[in-house]
Each structure stands twice: as structure tokens, then as C-alpha cells.
Amino acid sequence: MKANLEDIAKMAGVSKMTVSRVLRGGTGFSQDTRDRVVKVAEKLGYVPNRLAAAFGADQAGTLVGMCVPRLASGLFGQVLDGVDRALSRLGYQLMIGANNHSAAEEEAWIRQVIAWRPAGLILSGRTHTPGTVDLLRNAAAPVVEIWDLTTSPIDMSVGFSHFDCGAEMGQFLLRRGRRRAGYVGALARADVMGAARLEGFDATLSRAGHPIVAREILHDTPGFYAGYYGLETLLSRQPALDVVYFHNDEMAIGGMAYAQSRGLRVPEDIGIAGWGGMEAASILPRRLTTTVVPTTAIGKAAAEALVARLKGEPGLDVTVVPTRLEPGATG
């Protein structure tokens, strides 16, 4: 027979509730009690019933729901890894969903997840439907909004400013002497965070008297091929550009491939800049000019902030995880 909480409680000389709290990483007991319970649990070979915990059978669920824009995103894969590793270490389980950059889909997902009575929720971005905001406030569970920083979160926010990323890249390219900039993006009318980077980039260039000359924003998802034909389309309309800022690194690398296919030298004939800091950008013949995002650190910080709130520990409502501009050799 498998050992259960009652078996551990009897052998350790404590209550079943104390055993449950110790094994969930809770507080309110001495270190001696914790050590005794853990030792007995190990001796009996206790295996926790994660399903029961997720449904709240121990009066404190361990399930954490997380909704991201796209499961296929390499950057969000790293964020998920950071969240999952931290939650597992702290005794919680992760339930993942995707909203496909749709606030309405996010609301539908949250309605389903709340039925599981999660311990908390982690959401990407700060743009939500009124229905989502009402659901979250009525659920009385901790909520962490990640990726796109907001100073007035529903509960907590962990991330950085996409607008500032674009503005910083604009300032850098102006210092490099770039004056005729173009932009190639994706997920038109869907990715509000990509739009915020573009807004920051254009605002900086415009203040300097050199606004974006031409832009090509595709409805496709960002990827290598989208960057390739996005730059092809852009240059067919406006060939006299001296730099192009891309939605992300994948598209920028695709743009570099197109430039090479047409005999354009990067950065001599045309500069190329990306965003995200994907690993492939660091091993190109010329290191990509980009913005490095600390994806795993964001995930870890979000998970730790949520668990701290669950345990009643003091913490920040807004946590800034700074990005880093990588000058590279293509801008």
C-alpha cells in the first residue's frame, strides 16, 4: 500500500494538516517539525497525489495556470521553462494555454481554468477584455502579468517596456548614422507588444527628424521566411533604405538571407536589426544587432512573485527585468 498523509502524520506525531502544509512548502511550523515530516515521508516513500492537490482536496490547490500568445514561440518557450522550473521547486504544477494574440481567446481560456480553482494565474501582456478583468478580480487568486510591463497591474507585473526597447534601438541606429529606416513586422492588428516596439522606434526617429520611410507589416506569424519575403516586398517599394528594424530575430535573420541573395552587403549596403536575443543571432558570421530579453529570468521572477503572494510574504507589485541592447555588427 502507498503511504498517505495520515500515515506520515501518525509516524511524525503531527496533524494531517501540518503534514500537508509541510509537503506543500507552507509556513507556520518549526524547522524541527519540517525536518521530521520530510524524513518520515522519505522513509515511507510517499508520492503526492498531484491530481487531488490540483483540485484543492487539501484545501490549498497547487495548480498554476499560465497563458501565452503562442506555444510555438521560442522566446515564450524559455519563459515557460523558467516558470515551470521555479514552480516545481516550490511545489506547484503548471497548466499552459495559448491565446493566439487574442484577448477574447484569453478570456475563454481563463473561464475554463478558473473552474479548476487554480492557486494563481500568470498572463502574458497587459491588454485584457473587461470580462477577463472581472473574472480575475472575482477569483481572488494571485495574478502576475508578464512580458509587457505595466505600472498599474491587476495584481502584480513582471517584465519590461516594449516601447522602450524600440526607442532604444532607434537611438542606437541614429548614433550609427542611419537616416532612412524601414520596418518589417508580423501579426498585423494582433501583436500589441510588437506594435509598441514599433511605436517607440518611430517616435525616437521622428523626434530626430528622420521618421520611418517605409514599413511592411505582414499578417503572417513571425519567422525566417516571413522576414525574407517581408524585406523583399519592402525594398521593392522603397529600395533606398539604409537600415531595417525587424519584428524579431527570426525575421531579421530571414531578412539577412534575402539581402545576401541579392548581393547586398550587411551592414555596408543596408543595416539590419532584430529583437529578442535568440541563440542563433549570436553565431551568425556577423553578430546580429538586437535586443536581448532575459526570458528565463522573467519566468523565474514571475513564479517566485506569485508563490510569495500565496504564502503571504511581502513583495513588489511591479518587478522590472531589464533588457540589453546587443550592438552586434549588422546595424
Cβ–Cβ < 8 Å for 315, 308: yes
User: Residue 52 — very low, low, confident or very high, per pLDDT cuts 50/70/90?
Assistant: low
Give the SS3 label for residue 277: coil
Cβ–Cβ < 8 Å for 284, 260: no
Tell which residue, 120, 116, 106, has the closest CA to residue 68: 106
* Cβ contacts of 122 within 8 Å, gap of 6 or more: 64, 65, 66, 67, 83, 143, 144, 146, 302, 303, 306
- Kindly state whether residues 234 and 280 are assigned to the same domain: yes
- Kindly state whether residues 78 and 144 are assigned to the same domain: yes
208: Cα separation from own chain's centroid: 32
State the CB neighbour count (10 A cutoff) for residue 212: 18
- pLDDT for the residue 178: 98
Is the per-residue pLDDT at 57 higher than 70? no
The single-letter code of the amino acid at 190 is: A
Residue 331 forms part of a structural domain: no
Is the per-residue pLDDT at 21 higher than 80? no
Over pLDDT 70: what percentage of the chain?
94
Residue 313 forms part of a structural domain: yes
- Kindly state whether residues 154 and 228 are assigned to the same domain: no
State the CB neighbour count (10 A cutoff) for residue 2: 9
User: Residue 6 — very low, low, confident or very high, per pLDDT cuts 50/70/90?
Assistant: confident
- Kindly state whether residues 210 and 270 are assigned to the same domain: yes
Cβ–Cβ < 8 Å for 292, 277: yes
- Kindly state whether residues 270 and 155 are assigned to the same domain: no
- Report the CATH number at residue 19: 1.10.260.40
User: Residue 59 — very low, low, confident or very high, per pLDDT cuts 50/70/90?
Assistant: very low
Residue 285 forms part of a structural domain: yes
Q: How many Å apart are CA 81 and CA 297, to the nearest integer?
A: 10
- The pLDDT tens digits of the residues spanning 70-125 come to 888 888 889 999 999 999 888 899 999 999 999 999 999 999 998 788 899 999 99
- The pLDDT tens digits of the residues spanning 193-210 come to 999 999 999 999 999 999
Q: How many Å apart are CA 211 and CA 302, to the nearest integer?
A: 36
Residue 54 forms part of a structural domain: no
- For the ranges 1-10, 53-62, 93-102, 130-139, the maximum mean pLDDT occurs at 93-102
Crossing angle of helices 16-23 and 31-44, in 10° steps, is 90
User: Residue 56 — very low, low, confident or very high, per pLDDT cuts 50/70/90?
Assistant: very low
The mean per-residue pLDDT over the stretch 179-191 comes to 93
Angle at 69 between CA 184 and CA 213, to 5 degrees: 15
- Kindly state whether residues 248 and 231 are assigned to the same domain: yes
More confident residue, 301 or 136: 301
Residue 330 forms part of a structural domain: no
- Kindly state whether residues 23 and 108 are assigned to the same domain: no
State the CB neighbour count (10 A cutoff) for residue 174: 18
Residues in the chain: 331
Cβ-count burial 133-164 (b if 16+ within 10 Å, e if not): eebbeebebbbbbbbbbeeebbbbbbbbbbbb
Residue 44 forms part of a structural domain: yes
The mean per-residue pLDDT over the stretch 262-278 comes to 97
* Cβ contacts of 52 within 8 Å, gap of 6 or more: 58
- Kindly state whether residues 209 and 197 are assigned to the same domain: yes
Cβ–Cβ < 8 Å for 330, 273: yes
User: Residue 29 — very low, low, confident or very high, per pLDDT cuts 50/70/90?
Assistant: confident
Domain count, the chain: 3
- Kindly state whether residues 173 and 151 are assigned to the same domain: no
Query: What does pLDDT average to over the chain?
Result: 90
- Kindly state whether residues 67 and 153 are assigned to the same domain: yes
Q: Could you list the residue range(s) of the whole structural domain that residue 250 is in? A: 162-292
Q: How many Å apart are CA 99 and CA 117, to the nearest integer?
A: 20
Where do we find the cell 497547487?
A: 62
- Kindly state whether residues 33 and 149 are assigned to the same domain: no
- Kindly state whether residues 43 and 123 are assigned to the same domain: no
Residue 15 forms part of a structural domain: yes
Residue 295 grid coordinates: 526570458
- pLDDT for the residue 26: 65
Q: How many Å apart are CA 147 and CA 157, to the nearest integer?
A: 8
- Report the CATH number at residue 228: 3.40.50.2300
Residue 22 forms part of a structural domain: yes
Cβ–Cβ < 8 Å for 211, 183: no
